[in-house]
Structure 1
């Protein structure tokens, strides 16, 4: 009997959305968005993050000034309790997604002898 991988993927999507970790992330995100000051600070932080990631992907050098600006912004957002909770929830979700990705890729890794 053939297995429809997309059905399994949709079931996994549903499970992720129903997980405590996702719900905590969603709640933390909503709390940040409900606070105009926290939202503005978080949006600024995300923009800096995205700009640095784009530069890295394009092989561009990141200046010392940009590094210092990023470090200062990280320090500021970590002082905000709502943003700090959101970042912790993001980290937990990222770890779970990484672990799920390892499980998904395991058959290929075994096939190619990478395990």
Structure 2
């Protein structure tokens, strides 16, 4: 089992050394050093988190909350560094999603992909 963990640590290190992660880190540091940008991003993420928590509890966000979230999103998108940071987060998320698909491939081979099993018993 430790061999699998060793490979996971190697993968973690490779991810940390990747261009995608390095660019994200640089942008993150840049936002952290800009008090206005940091506050804008924190406010946006807090609004996002509140909406997600409501949805997880089965509550529907109000029109006002949705409008507020959209305004926050538009505002952060207009900030050049925050916009770049969010784009880079999306790129790294895609890389991690690809890695997850690769890692879980043996389980999909064993159990099949859920869509393939629809209607079969």
Query: What corresponds to 2:111 in structure 1?
Result: 112
Residue 60 of structure 2: SS of its match in structure 1?
coil
- Cα distance in 2, alignment partners of residues 68 and 83 from structure 1: 20
For the residues of structure 2 that align with 1:48 and 1:112, how far apart are their CA atoms? 39
Extract structure 1 runs of 4+ deviating beyond 3 A: none
Structure 1 equivalent of residue 83 of structure 2: 84
TM-score normalised by length of structure 1: 0.94
Cα RMSD after superposing both structures: 1.3
Distance 1:5 1:55 in 2: 38
**Alpha-carbon distance in 2 for matches of 1:59, 1:100:** 31
Aligned equivalent of 2:72: 73
Query: How far apart, CA to CA, are the structure 1 residues paired with 2:108 and 2:62?
Result: 38
Structure 2 gap ranges (5+): 117-121
> SS in structure 1 opposite 2:86?
helix
Q: For each residue in 1:38-84, what CA deviation from the matched residue of structure 2 results, as whole angstroms up to 9, or x when unmatched?
A: 00000001111111111112211111111100000000000000100
Gaps of 5+ in 1: none
Report how many aligned residue pairs link the two structures: 114
TM-aligned CA distance change 1:112 to 1:81, over 3 Å:
same
Counterpart of 2:48 in structure 1 is 49
Bigger Rg, which one:
2
